[in-house]
């Protein structure tokens, strides 16, 4: 759960808890209203009085009747001769005649703390027996104050308990995510890029931890890529350097004293030096693609004119190499696309150049562009030797040399650079190929995307 949602729930709970507590207390008060009325236990008293089934002469039954009285009730039972038959009030002893003066004085003296009520149960009306009830009076003001204090205490305890519980849940979630992130940061700082960070939950800190793990994976790939890059440079530069050293040593040792032999050796050295220069240029351009230095050179380019120039140039190259080249550009003139024209030209040049290189004489290369499903799709198809299916996923990797290209000179950075240029523009490239039937490279340029 997201941190914002957790805090919203906590705040909502803090707002709602007082209402729930107060509502619960009022419900409990309503259920217990009879006990808390000015005449407490009045319903029980009424039930007790209406349930009497005794005769006037049965004193034992009267005693049992009185002993079953509700809590908080004292009573005096008086017969028609005003004699006290039974009493639970010490001031009025059983067997004495009732003294009206003393009785009314007692009632007057205790009226502030008790209620007094005369009752004659239906079962005793014919006997002339009268019952005086004394019920403890409840002071409403004191009771209200006590209830307010109780409500405040209950409400405070409920808010405190809910706040502590809610905060504990949030802090526990945060602590787990932060601890996980901290441990992962320490491992990465120590150079451990292989340990995957296991994250649970969906909060912001959990998402941050997942992002950190993605960064760890990307950093691991960068280091692996750098290692492959260094190995590729070492491998590709080692051969021409070794040859140059060998021919120079041969000249120094006198194996090229003949002018023609020396000239041949020097031409080979020059050729290898140019090869080295081309490799270094490829490496510099590839590094520019990786660091994004080229983005400062973007400008709006007429896509139709741009593709027409490529088609015109390779029509001549194909004729020179005895290949059949056709172009079909179905994009309106004036279609502006933001790009680095030089680098984009180089990417398409590399794709079409590969098609010419790996297509035998009399083979066909088609250069087409059209609008399709929100994209401008530029495709280069050929009838060349094709690419094995097992190599299709790797042809854009730096320094990868396919089975059919190993006899050719190069660094293996051509298609890797193409991929970097295309991707960095926000475009996509894919390839389909069948061995001995040909390949189709397709570049998809979003129509509405800002280039």
Q: Where exactly are the structural domains of the chain?
A: 3-33+141-183, 38-137, 204-291, 293-446
Q: Look at residue 142 in the predicted model and tell me its pLDDT.
A: 47
Quote the tokens at residue 343: 């680098």
Least confident of 79-93, 279-293, 320-334: 279-293
Least confident of 82-96, 224-238, 341-355, 358-372: 224-238
Q: Look at residue 28 in the predicted model and tell me its pLDDT.
A: 65
Residue partners of 218: CB distance under 8 A and separation at least 6? none
Instruction: Summarize the confidence of residues 250-254 as an average pLDDT.
Output: 84
* Fold that domain 293-446 belongs to in CATH: Heat Shock Protein 90 (3.30.565)
Residue tagged 């024209």 (tokens): 341
The CATH-assigned architecture of domain 38-137 is 2-Layer Sandwich (3.30)
CA distances from 35 to 81, 147, 270, 286 (A): 35, 14, 113, 90
Give residue-wise pLDDT tens across range 75-110. Answer: 888 887 888 888 888 888 888 888 888 888 888 888
Q: Look at residue 220 in the predicted model and tell me its pLDDT.
A: 80
Answer for the pair 208, 181: CB distance below 8 angstroms, yes or no. Answer: yes
Residue 36 has pLDDT above 90, yes or no: no
Residue 327 has pLDDT above 90, yes or no: yes
SS3 of 371-418: EECCEEEEEEEECCCCCCHHHCCCCCCCCCCCHHHCCCCCCCCHHHHH
Asked if the 204-291 domain carries CATH number 1.10.287.130, the reply is yes
Q: What percent of the chain has pLDDT over 70?
A: 70
Give residue-wise pLDDT tens across range 186-226. Answer: 887 787 777 777 766 666 677 777 788 888 888 887 777 66
pLDDT bin (cut points 50, 70, 90) of residue 369 is: very high
CA angle 38, 44, 45 (to 5 degrees): 75
Residue tagged 């409920």 (tokens): 158
Q: What percent of the chain has pLDDT over 90?
A: 15
Q: Look at residue 59 in the predicted model and tell me its pLDDT.
A: 60
More confident call, 294 vs 101? 101
As to burial, measured by CB atoms within 10 angstroms (0-12 exposed, 13-18 middle, 19+ buried), residue 50 is exposed
């Amino acid at each position: 759960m997201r941190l914002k949602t957790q805090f919203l729930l906590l705040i909502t709970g803090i707002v709602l808890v007082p209402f729930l507590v107060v509502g619960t207390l009022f419900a409990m008060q309503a259920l217990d209203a009879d006990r808390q009325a000015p005449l407490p236990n009045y319903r029980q008293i009424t039930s007790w009085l209406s349930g009497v089934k005794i005769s006037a002469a049965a004193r034992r039954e009267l005693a049992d009747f009185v002993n079953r009285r509700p809590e908080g009730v004292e009573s005096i039972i008086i017969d028609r001769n005003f004699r006290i038959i039974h009493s639970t009030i010490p001031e009025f002893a059983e067997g004495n005649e009732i003294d009206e003066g003393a009785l009314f004085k007692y009632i007057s003296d205790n009226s502030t703390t008790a209620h007094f009520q005369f009752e004659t149960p239906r079962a005793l009306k014919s006997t002339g027996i009268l019952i005086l009830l004394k019920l403890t009076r409840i002071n409403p003001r004191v009771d209200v104050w006590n209830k307010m204090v109780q409500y405040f205490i209950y409400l405070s305890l409920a808010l405190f308990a809910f706040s502590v519980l809610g905060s504990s849940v949030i802090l526990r979630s945060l602590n787990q995510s932060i601890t996980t992130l901290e441990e992962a940061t320490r491992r990465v700082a120590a150079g451990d890029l292989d340990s995957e960070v296991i994250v649970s939950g969906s909060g912001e800190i959990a998402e941050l931890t997942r992002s950190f793990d993605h960064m760890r994976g990307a950093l691991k790939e960068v280091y692996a890529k750098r290692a492959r890059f260094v190995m590729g440079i070492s491998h590709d530069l080692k051969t021409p350097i070794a040859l140059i050293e060998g021919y120079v040593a041969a000249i120094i040792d006198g194996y090229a004293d003949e002018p023609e032999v020396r000239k041949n050796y020097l031409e080979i050295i020059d050729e290898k030096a140019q090869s080295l220069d081309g490799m270094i240029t490829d490496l510099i351009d590839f590094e520019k693609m990786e660091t994004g230095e080229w983005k400062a050179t973007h400008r709006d380019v007429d896509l139709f004119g741009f593709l027409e120039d490529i088609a015109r140039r390779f029509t001549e190259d194909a004729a020179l190499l005895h290949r059949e080249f056709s172009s079909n550009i179905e994009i309106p003139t004036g279609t502006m696309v933001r790009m680095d024209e030089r680098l984009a030209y180089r990417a398409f040049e590399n794709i079409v150049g590969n098609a010419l290189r790996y297509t035998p004489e009399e083979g066909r290369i088609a250069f087409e562009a059209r609008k399709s499903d929100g994209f401008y799709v530029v495709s280069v198809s050929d009838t060349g030797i094709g690419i094995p299916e097992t190599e299709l996923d790797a042809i854009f990797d730096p320094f990868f040399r396919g089975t059919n290209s190993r006899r050719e000179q190069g660094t293996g950075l051509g298609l890797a650079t193409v991929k970097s240029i295309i991707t960095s523009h926000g475009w996509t490239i894919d390839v389909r190929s069948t061995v001995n039937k040909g390949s189709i490279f397709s570049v998809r340029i979003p129509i509405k995307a800002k280039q």
